[in-house]
Amino acid sequence: MAEEFWRWKENRWTSPETTWKGARTVTCGVDVGSVSTQAVIMADGELYAYSNMRTGSSSPESAEKALKWALEGTDLTRDKLAYTVGTGYGRVNVPFANRAITEIACHARGANFMYGPTVRTVLDMGGQDCKAIRCDEKGKVVSFLMNDKCAAGTGRGMEVFSELLQVPIEKVGELSFQVDQEPPPVSSTCVVFAKSEASGLLRAGWPKNKVLAAYCSAMAHRIFTLLERIGVEKDFAITGGIAKNVGVVRRLEHELGLTVATPKVDPQIAGGVGAALFAKTLVEKGKA
């Protein structure tokens, strides 16, 4: 099989500090996205373990696999999970979930936990959509804007470029700064046209890094226009795969004139974290 560049590396994590033993409620959140799936386990509202995997052709199978991997190497078993919430694009297809909650609600709640209660604006950019969310101090959604119609403003655009240039997605950001001077952004909006524009630039002798810089800056600007429409209030956090692309994040910071909150854990798990927190609330309120 040909080498694949466009997807983020799979990873899993277990907290060195938190333990599930003695916890009153152990809950799980599963975020089945179009490209990746995360299973997050929380003990009394503290992060215990998570996995971040690729979504396969079947959502139920992907959810199962993600949970299995999150539990791997821990002494926690599935039957100890008090409640599970599914979220994301495939949220209704999580066989072991007790309930499904939209990813907008989950990302806001997850960002509130991961980046702190001062976060008021959350940008979530995943494989096939992009959401700008305004939330309150509890991580409750106040308003949001979403693009899921056009690949240009989603992770998909970056994936196409990573494949075209044969640059692993985790290297895109770093390489995009290895240019003498910031080039003008790729001018085509549509990913299909941007791809032909990029081929033209390569033929004209542009090095890969320069093309990446031009695309990262075009994407940062697309995100900026979405954020401008909803209005950015500090603190500002980014979740989803794009948060790991410094090429887009730094350029967006520059355009907005503010600093983006830095995550301590994988920003792709925010939806799963939010889902696990909703699960905890539901159990505590006796609504489970």
Partner 1 sequence: MMAVITAGIDMGAKTIKVVLLEDGQKVRARAMELGGTDTRAAGERAFNAALFQAGLRMAEVAHVTATGAGRASAPFAKDSVTEVGAGARGAIFLHPAARTVIDVGAEEGKTLRCDGRGKVIDFAVNEKCAAGAGSFMESMARALEVKLEELGPLALKSGNTIPMNAQCAVFAESEVVTLVHQKHTKEDIAKAVHDAIADRITSMVRKVGFENDVVLIGGVSKNPAFVETMRRNLQTAVNVLPDPEYVGALGAAIVAAENAGVK
Residue 114 CB-density burial (10 A; 0-12 exposed, 13-18 middle, 19+ buried):
buried
Q: What is the pairing mode between strands 11-14 and 130-135?
A: unpaired
Based on the shown chain and the rule CB under 8 A, indicate whether residue 150 belongs to the binding site for partner 1: yes
- DSSP-assigned states of every residue in 126-186: -SS-EEEEEE-TT--EEEEEEE-S-GGGSHHHHHHHHHHHT--HHHHHHHHT-SSSPPPPP
- Cβ at position 63, least distance to partner 1 in Å: 18
Of 1, 16, 22, 57, the one binding partner 1 (CB under 8 A) is: 57
**Residue 146 found at the interface with partner 1 (CB under 8 A):** no
Closer of 74 and 128 to partner 1 (Cβ): 128
The answer to whether 73 contacts partner 1 (rule: CB under 8 A) is: no
Site string for partner 1, 151-190 (x = CB under 8 A): xx---xx--x---------------------------xxx
Fill in the DSSP letter of residue 8: P
The CA-CA-CA angle for residues 213, 130, 13, to 5°, reads: 85
Q: With respect to partner 1, which residue has the nearer C-beta, 28 or 152?
A: 152
Kindly tell me which of 93 and 128 has the beta carbon lying closer to partner 1: 128
Binding to partner 1 in span 104-143, by CB under 8 A = 128
Query: What is 260-284 written as a DSSP string?
Result: PBPPSS-GGGHHHHHHHHHHHHHHH
Site for partner 1 in 189-248 (CB under 8 A): 189-193, 196, 200, 203
Residues lying near partner 1 in the complex (CB under 8 A): 57, 128, 149-152, 156-157, 160, 188-193, 196, 200, 203
